């Protein structure tokens, strides 16, 4: 019989961590429902192949935005993992906790108990970090985190150029000091993608009290304001998975609000339009959608030392063969091995710009590689004021939702992106890059005026694939809160949401690490265990933040 104490919808980053922790002591049974299939094979497990799975309907839900009004009507890809491990099985494997002040802001916005002091112990519990700052990092958790080898001299040039431009350098942006230029961290272990499936789900599935059920979740079944199970479609029939204690939705910031609305939880007027019976009028469901956008600022390289020479068919075969045999070589890295977090101007307390550096000139999705040797910085602001929404397209559970990020709808976003482009040019003009730079590929040296930069931004800005915020955590008194600080859905018993959709505001950097942390901390709330004691460690804040950007 399909019945367990806890039923989790989604075997992604948070759902996998939750499955592992809820089943750890053997006292509770857990069913995790996952529509996607196996993560077996080199396209997912080989780090350098990262551009393939996110472009394959086998592994990706294939969502796209509605035409974005401020980007000339472009529709942008919104990949979400449809595979065990969820988006951690198709992402870029970049590991960023977020800045301490991000979590302090959550607490200030009504997410009591989620300040940095509260969440730092959970980041430590989940990590097995190689080479991080002592005392700030976990060293025996399930999630392996490493730094890339940085053998290409361009990585060192990028970090040195940041220093020459007057910015900070940091040895560990996930330690006490995020601000600065330094090595980038990766969820890679022994040459393989270390997804939430590898770290958490597969070990949990070896336990007798855990079961993985393949199926498409259609709605949560709610009786007398209490979640009692999940209606799924499996093997061409509708079945019910019963929950004795709780149903937990961990289906992503796109699918979690969709499931709530299909279950009668959301803005009353919208649900009425689709003839969905009302369970809880929560106007915040699907609202507060946020993301990071980024641009690729590309330079031609004088020396043939970039990854350009590895893009040919023969090179790819040789790289793949070495990886298959030994799990070493260029196939064993995502090639994001240098990074930076900087502040855009004086008066900004903590970093609001992120850089990924790549010794190649190529799009994130692997398309449109430059025809010459080149390198690029991915750059974008961290705290856009633009907000979008996820809404139902139809009451049919199989219909994709309507996704509108409303990108670049706030005028400050344009100012911030223009600054990002000009700042990147300043970094590439430093002495450290003098022997490498051979002219700007994109945007192109002729693109200098505000209007020209805005045109480039409008046509070329891309999602960094960090959607979040659509089931916002906050005080029960706040009408726009969807879950309370224990992640309980307001107005319904026995139902929680545990994934990046609960973020009140987007965190600095990539979202995989904070998503897993949410799963870790949620498990203690659900089991009623004492929370880990808050940390008394103080993060580094630039003493010059009021006077200068560096």
Domains along the chain? 149-183+293-381+408-460 (3.30.410.40)
Note the pTM of the prediction, 2 decimals: 0.98
The reply, when asked if residue 2 is annotated as ligand binding, is no
Number of Cβ within 10 Å of residue 52's Cβ equals 16
Q: b/e per residue, 360-372, with b = 16+ CB within 10 A?
A: bbbebeeeeebee
Q: What's the CA gap between 502 and 505, in Å, rounded?
A: 9
The reply, when asked if residue 65 is annotated as ligand binding, is no
The reply, when asked if residue 34 is annotated as ligand binding, is yes
The reply, when asked if residue 394 is annotated as ligand binding, is no
pLDDT in tens, the chain (550 residues): 799 999 999 999 999 999 999 999 999 999 999 999 999 999 999 999 999 999 999 999 999 999 999 999 999 999 999 999 999 999 999 999 999 999 999 999 999 999 999 999 999 999 999 999 999 999 999 999 999 999 999 999 999 999 999 999 999 999 999 999 999 999 999 999 999 999 999 999 999 999 999 999 999 999 999 999 999 999 999 999 999 999 999 999 999 999 999 999 999 999 999 999 999 999 999 999 999 999 999 999 999 999 998 989 999 999 999 999 999 999 999 999 999 999 999 999 999 999 999 999 998 676 778 889 999 999 999 999 999 999 999 999 999 999 999 999 999 999 999 999 999 999 999 999 999 999 999 999 999 999 999 999 999 999 999 999 999 999 999 999 999 999 999 999 999 999 999 999 999 999 999 999 999 999 999 999 999 999 999 999 999 999 999 9
The reply, when asked if residue 21 is annotated as ligand binding, is yes
The reply, when asked if residue 14 is annotated as ligand binding, is yes
Question: What does the CA dihedral 517, 521, 526, 532 come to, rounded to 10 degrees?
Answer: 160
The reply, when asked if residue 29 is annotated as ligand binding, is yes
- Provide the 3-class DSSP secondary structure of residue 511: coil
Annotated catalytic sites, by residue? 466
Residue ranges of E strands in 333-373: 338-342, 353-358
The reply, when asked if residue 10 is annotated as ligand binding, is yes
């Amino acid at each position: 019989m399909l019945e367990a104490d806890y039923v989790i919808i989604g075997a992604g980053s948070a759902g996998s961590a939750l499955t592992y922790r809820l089943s750890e002591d053997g006292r509770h049974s857990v069913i995790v429902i996952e529509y996607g299939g196996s993560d077996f094979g080199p396209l997912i497990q080989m780090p350098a192949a990262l551009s393939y799975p996110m472009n394959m309907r086998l592994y990706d839900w294939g969502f796209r935005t509605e035409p974005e009004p401020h980007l000339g009507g472009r529709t942008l890809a919104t990949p979400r993992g449809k595979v065990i491990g969820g988006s951690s099985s198709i992402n870029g494997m970049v590991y960023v906790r977020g800045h301490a002040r991000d979590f302090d802001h959550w607490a200030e916005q009504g997410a009591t108990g989620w300040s940095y002091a509260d969440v730092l112990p959970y980041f430590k519990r989940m990590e097995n970090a190689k080479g991080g700052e002592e005392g700030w990092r976990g060293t025996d958790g399930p999630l392996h985190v490493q730094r890339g080898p940085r053998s290409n001299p361009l990585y060192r040039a990028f970090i040195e150029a940041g220093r020459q431009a007057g910015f900070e350098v940091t040895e560990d942006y996930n330690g006490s000091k995020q601000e600065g230029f330094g090595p980038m961290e990766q969820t890679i272990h022994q040459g393989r993608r270390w997804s939430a499936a590898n770290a958490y789900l597969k070990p949990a599935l070896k336990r007798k009290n855990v079961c993985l059920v393949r199926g498409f979740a259609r709605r949560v079944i709610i009786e007398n304001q209490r979640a009692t199970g999940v209606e799924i479609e499996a093997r061409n029939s509708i079945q019910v998975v019963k929950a004795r204690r709780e149903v937990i939705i961990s289906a992503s910031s796109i699918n979690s609000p969709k499931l709530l609305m299909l279950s009668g939880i959301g803005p009353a007027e919208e649900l009425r339009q689709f003839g969905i019976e009302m369970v809880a009028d929560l106007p915040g469901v699907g609202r507060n959608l946020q993301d990071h956008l980024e641009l690729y600022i590309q330079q031609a390289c004088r020396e043939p030392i970039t990854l350009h020479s590895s893009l040919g068919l023969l090179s790819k075969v040789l790289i793949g063969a070495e990886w298959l045999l030994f799990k070493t070589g260029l196939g064993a890295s995502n090639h994001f091995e240098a990074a930076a977090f900087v502040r855009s101007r004086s008066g900004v307390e903590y970093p609001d710009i992120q850089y990924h550096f790549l010794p190649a000139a190529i799009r994130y999705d692997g398309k449109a590689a430059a025809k010459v040797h080149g390198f690029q910085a991915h750059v974008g602001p961290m705290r856009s004021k633009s907000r979008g929404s996820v809404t139902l397209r139809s009451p049919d559970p199989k219909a994709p939702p309507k996704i509108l990020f409303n990108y670049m709808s706030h005028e400050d976003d344009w100012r911030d992106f223009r600054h990002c482009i000009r700042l990147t040019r300043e970094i590439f003009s430093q002495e450290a890059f003098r022997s490498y730079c051979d002219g700007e590929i994109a945007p192109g040296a002729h693109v200098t005026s505000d209007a020209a930069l805005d045109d480039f931004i409008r046509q070329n800005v891309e999602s960094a694939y960090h959607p979040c915020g659509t089931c916002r955590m906050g005080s029960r008194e706040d009408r726009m809160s969807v879950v309370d600080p224990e992640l309980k859905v307001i107005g319904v018993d026995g139902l929680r949401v545990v994934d990046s959709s609960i973020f009140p505001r987007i965190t600095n950097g990539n979202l995989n690490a904070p998503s897993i942390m949410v799963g870790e901390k949620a498990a203690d709330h659900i089991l009623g265990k004492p929370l880990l004691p808050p940390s008394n460690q103080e993060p580094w804040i630039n003493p010059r933040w009021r006077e200068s950007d560096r």
